Chains A and B, each alone.
Chain A
Amino acid sequence: MAKRQKSTLDRRDALRAILAKRGDALLVTGLGSTCYDAGTMDHPNTFYLWGGMGAAAMVGLGLALAQPTRRVIVATGDGEMLMALGSLATIGADRPRNLAIVVMDNELYSETGMQPTHTSRGVDLAAMAKAAGFARTGTVHNLKQLSAWVPPLYKTPGPVFLVAKITSQRYPMSIRLRDGTAIKNRFREALLGSKAFD
């Protein structure tokens, strides 16, 4: 097992640094804290998952296939990603060039009582993604390392997979928008215009 490095990265600082450069990129969040974090930087090109644990990466793949000229970013947690390890193989085999996945990894199930996830015991999600065929993978532990990774998230031919090791800092739930149909329709209208309701 590789030597463990302590993280100094705050989850909201990390997502803010990434989304500051989003441009016209499309964002899918996993349920839980990444959904709430993204909610503090709300945008019509964001699709929030409030449920369906394990869905985020594959929602990202379907979106990336439908919109090959747009960058698609998936931001999710380590618990959510661990529930869908098979999707790493599916995405690695399909190799969508416009998809990047960022796992905000606090090594905890923070919504359910801060139980440790497998990443706290050495399971390396970035290594798994690399073995599955992702084009570029990495792990960062501080804001400086993350900043260097932001351009590749948007520009490097994908699929790209980044683990952002974050501290266990928690924040209050700060998003009100939770009606799934409204979230879906808002996203489609922003992306597809009047065709959203064909």
Chain B
Amino acid sequence: MEVSIIFCGLDFFGYSNFNENMICVNNINSVQMASSIVDQISIRKNIDVIYSAIQKTWQYDNIALGDFNGSLELGNLGNKGIPVTSLLYMRKKTTDLVWDAIITIPYLNSQSLYSFKDLYVASNVSMDYALIPCSIGGIQGDWIIATILPSFTGTFIFDDYSNFHLDKDLKWDAITTNISKSTYLPLGSQFPITIYGSTKYRTGKITNTLITDDSMDGLGTGISGIDLANERLQTDAFIDFITNFCPKMLKDGQGKMLCVNTDGNPTETPNNELHGGISDVSFDFTECGKTDIKTLQSMNLGNIIPDDN
């Protein structure tokens, strides 16, 4: 390869057209190309880029990359000029075989960053996620697959709109697996006959101290720095949440994940040593369904909401 010249304009002041009032041309909203034959153009945000006369591949900071292999496309989404209409996200446990669609986000020309949070994952259960661009008619394109091992501590109780992290003086009582059975005592037989039903669900009880971060940091005005107003608000919000008669998710850092109803009568036990500034809250739960996305969505759970990008 013959190298004919190198020139760096940053330090160039020799040409008379130079003007001290030179401007930074920001917000470039149109790029025109003409008067040549173009093999490739790459436009990147990053300026810490090494000079290299090798054709480029798409990088994380690329704004556009055009190879012009028979099309006028310059993005990381290609479809022979046919618009991409949506981005389909699917997931499965790594050990499972079948993927479940979790969200389809419409593709917008005005948006390049797409993100959302998936709370419906159990800790320590490896998950595969796939991103599939789709075009008109739902034609699915390349599957981009990534794997992660979710990891968190404490217990969370949540639905699509609220999420409470229970990690202060948390106590799970015994979890009972309830099954249904009938026992018959036939005359003339030494042993009974037991018939089992298909009912199988778990019940239990959780107790947790509710305390805000500000109170933990002693930033409030109450005894021991408790933020009394916020404690009241948080406790009321939590009681309202677990008495809203809707299914919700309960999971912990060990890997348990249950779809539950919070039944029984929740109790709030003010801490008298702290003049009632904080409270323990107890509630019972009853498992009410499976935790796959389809089942959850049938119970108005498991609906992923895109981030506001």
Question: Do A and B come together as binding partners?
Answer: no
Interface set of A (CB-CB < 8 Å, partner B): none
